[in-house]
Chain A
């Protein structure tokens, strides 16, 4: 992983974001929403509407509007929300941080549970653990999030009353309360990740255990735990990195259902609110930030992969 690779990677991310910005801007142009009408309401006089259009530059050619928007974005200015009148950037980044908290939590829970589960299933192929893992995986993949979420709510929030049902508390405000609020959404989100990853780890471990180098390690007289942890684990984990990177997309956009059910104001939820309100600056900012996060997450995954598997060379 050389400096030139990193540089190229950064350029690639920038390029991705540029393309996304074009798409996002294009789509918001096609949306049946007139910014002036959104701002002033349905009953505004034509003269007032015209004044706003002039002030916002809505009459300018599209490419000029795009360049103006892009240059503002580059300085960190995503514009002002048409719904609240507040700057869009800080609002969206705050929402992103809440979503990332959820995503990182879900990935951690997944790593702690799915990796050992998958490896155990492979080692005890055809036995109880294996069947249990298969069951968990099928359930996780086939149950929609709103079902899992509802079941969690019924059990932990309603019946047992262990955890709060909805809401969000910032970690800096009250750490423990924040964690208590995050547990259920994180668990719900991790179910599907565990389902993906446990199966992947299982099949990958099976492959690795049948490989020549594992046999060689055993025939060198290494005890089984060393064979598994030193020789098998790393190789079995390789594809997990890829899966996790792909799931980041799901965790950012797809868990809108979870954010909605647990009333967690993440970026997915903010984006839906913005779309319903035809709040163009918020839509643009939300989509762009999501795309950027996804691009960065994937690059991080590539780097992790290169670190784990030295055969991958980025030179």
Chain B
């Protein structure tokens, strides 16, 4: 049977001021009708370049050196711009990573869904609207008639992604490209999107290229998996075997990086005194005004303790109040309730003095925005060092602790990779020699393999300094590897706070059970 998509010997360069950079190197792959090929690799490995090559949407500095890309019998490299209009959206559908940016904020969902039906399937506007409602029903959206008239900001992320998926399936394409479609969604929503993908795929028999940096996820939904590294395909195997028997060393690294709850990384059991106790923490943003009632509180009466040297995981979907707790404990948000640091009671933000702020440090999710782009790494680390009684000579030691070369002190943040930036942010927190570090989704923006190395680093720092962590994440598998206890939050409330072993037990909250179900462990 002829493949739906075949790429053979394809090589692509980008010409930049710094020279030529090879993005894809002699890449060959084929997708049979009805087959799902998973494409896995770290960021920068060339996954996206391959997508843009297939979609013929390459930037101007791209140079195609050799190779061919065929969609059925059509040679895509020779397709004219006019022919491409009949291929994009019609014969190749696409689902993008982040539905909140890939939908136009000023057009209704219905308009954005039906414009492809009008364009490619020759529907009248009214007929397209009816078909649109039908499509939304097929992606399991309730009240599709109402949703059609909504604007993107009026619906949730999961609903948006379903609309994008409905659009991609709408013209019955031969092939659909999925570019990390669940990365921007929280765990439960992402799991439901994957269920939908499986069902639609079974119904339509469409072929798909599914791109992700998460080998665990891809191995669950693809028929075959191709692993990409530095522009080359290093391994291609059936999804069922790649996890059990990775042939290539790079694949093995990716396999090892996937968090698996049964593989614990922390073995001690802290029994020291309570380091930080929080009682009935309530955070409220925005006040009641003359015309507007107060918004609902971000957290209500959350109580938790962190022991010395303990790792407390906090999980929950976006908007559950995880970050608000972090902001309250670090004094970034006003709160009601009481905090105790050791034996010292802290009644509010005003009582958080230098000693408290030194003891409780935070690392934020996005190092891009938490590191000042106009300061060199040395300045970024020097400030907290001086403030907490150290001096600048400790900078090389600090960098070494987070396994960065001392020469990085002279670099600007933009010269570092995402993982390196996060190491600098961790070093900044440790400059204060803290007793507790709050990690607010610090690996969410990173590749799985980089995440694994950051986790290694945190555990090494803990072994050396006895630091406690409050580790906020939406990745249950990850936190089950390292946390001693896990707090589950939902809609501003703490629904569960239990030892990691008790998570599988009978007495857990139904929501916790749902979270566990939505975070399946890798096959094999």
Select one of A8, A213, A221 contacting B120, CB under 8 A.
A221
Cα of A215 to Cα of B51 in the assembled complex, Å: 13
Closest to B168 in A: A220
Closest to A217 in B: B104
Please give, as numbers and ranges, the residues of chain A lying within 8 Å of B119 by CB-CB distance: 220-222, 226
Q: Assuming the A-B contacts A216-B96, A219-B55, are A311 and B153 also in contact, with contact meaning beta carbons closer than 8 angstroms in the complex?
A: yes
B103 touches A235 (CB 8 A): no
A219 touches B94 (CB 8 A): yes
Interface string of A218-260 (1 = CB under 8 A from B): 1111110010001100110000000000000000000000000
B88 touches A220 (CB 8 A): yes
Closest to B91 in A: A221
B57 touches A219 (CB 8 A): yes
Please give, as numbers and ranges, the residues of chain B lying within 8 Å of A222 by CB-CB distance: 85, 89, 115-116, 119
Residue A4 CB within 8 A of the other chain: yes
Q: Assuming the A-B contacts A8-B291, A221-B119, A311-B153, are A212 and B106 also in contact, with contact meaning beta carbons closer than 8 angstroms in the complex?
A: no
Cα of A217 to Cα of B55 in the assembled complex, Å: 13
Q: Assuming the A-B contacts A8-B291, A213-B104, A310-B106, are A220 and B151 also in contact, with contact meaning beta carbons closer than 8 angstroms in the complex?
A: no
CB of A7 to closest CB in B, whole Å: 10
CB of A123 to closest CB in B, whole Å: 14
Residue A211 CB within 8 A of the other chain: yes
Q: Assuming the A-B contacts A219-B55, A220-B89, A220-B167, are A213 and B153 also in contact, with contact meaning beta carbons closer than 8 angstroms in the complex?
A: no
Select one of A212, A226, A231, A311 contacting B151, CB under 8 A.
A311
Give the A-B pair count, Cβ closer than 8 A. 73
B102 touches A212 (CB 8 A): yes
A213 touches B115 (CB 8 A): no
Residue A273 CB within 8 A of the other chain: no
A4 touches B167 (CB 8 A): no
A212 touches B153 (CB 8 A): no
CB of B100 to closest CB in A, whole Å: 9
CB of B189 to closest CB in A, whole Å: 19
Cα of A222 to Cα of B94 in the assembled complex, Å: 13
Cα of A60 to Cα of B116 in the assembled complex, Å: 74
Interface string of B99-122 (1 = CB under 8 A from A): 001111111000000011001100
Cα of A219 to Cα of B352 in the assembled complex, Å: 52
Please give, as numbers and ranges, the residues of chain A lying within 8 Å of B116 by CB-CB distance: 220-222
B89 touches A311 (CB 8 A): no
- Contact-size category for B: 20 to 34
Please give, as numbers and ranges, the residues of chain B lying within 8 Å of A309 by CB-CB distance: 105-106
A219 touches B88 (CB 8 A): yes
Closest to A208 in B: B104
Residue A308 CB within 8 A of the other chain: yes
B120, B167, B291 interface centre (most CB from chain A within 10 Å): B291
Closest to B94 in A: A219
Closest to A5 in B: B291
Closest to A214 in B: B104
B96 touches A311 (CB 8 A): no
Residue B90 CB within 8 A of the other chain: yes
Please give, as numbers and ranges, the residues of chain A lying within 8 Å of B88 by CB-CB distance: 218-221
Find residues 426-479 in chain B having any chain A CB closer than 8 Å to their own CB.
none
Cα of A212 to Cα of B94 in the assembled complex, Å: 13
Residue B87 CB within 8 A of the other chain: yes
Residue B98 CB within 8 A of the other chain: yes
B105 touches A235 (CB 8 A): yes
Cα of A213 to Cα of B111 in the assembled complex, Å: 13
Please give, as numbers and ranges, the residues of chain A lying within 8 Å of B154 by CB-CB distance: 310
Residue B44 CB within 8 A of the other chain: no
Select one of B85, B86, B106 contacting A308, CB under 8 A.
B106
22 A-B pairs within 8 Å (CB atoms) are namely A8-B291, A212-B96, A213-B103, A213-B104, A215-B102, A216-B102, A216-B104, A219-B88, A219-B89, A219-B94, A220-B89, A220-B167, A221-B86, A221-B88, A222-B89, A222-B119, A230-B115, A310-B105, A310-B106, A310-B151, A311-B105, A311-B151
Interface contacts beyond A215-B102, A221-B89: sample of 12 additional A-B pairs, CB < 8 Å, sorted by A: A8-B291, A212-B98, A219-B88, A220-B89, A220-B94, A221-B88, A230-B107, A235-B106, A308-B106, A310-B105, A310-B106, A310-B153
B: residues with CB less than 8 A from A are 55, 57, 84-90, 94, 96, 98, 101-107, 115-116, 119-120, 151, 153-154, 164, 167, 291
Q: Across chains A and B, which 4 residue pairs bring their CB atoms closest together, nearest first?
A: A221-B89, A221-B88, A212-B101, A220-B89
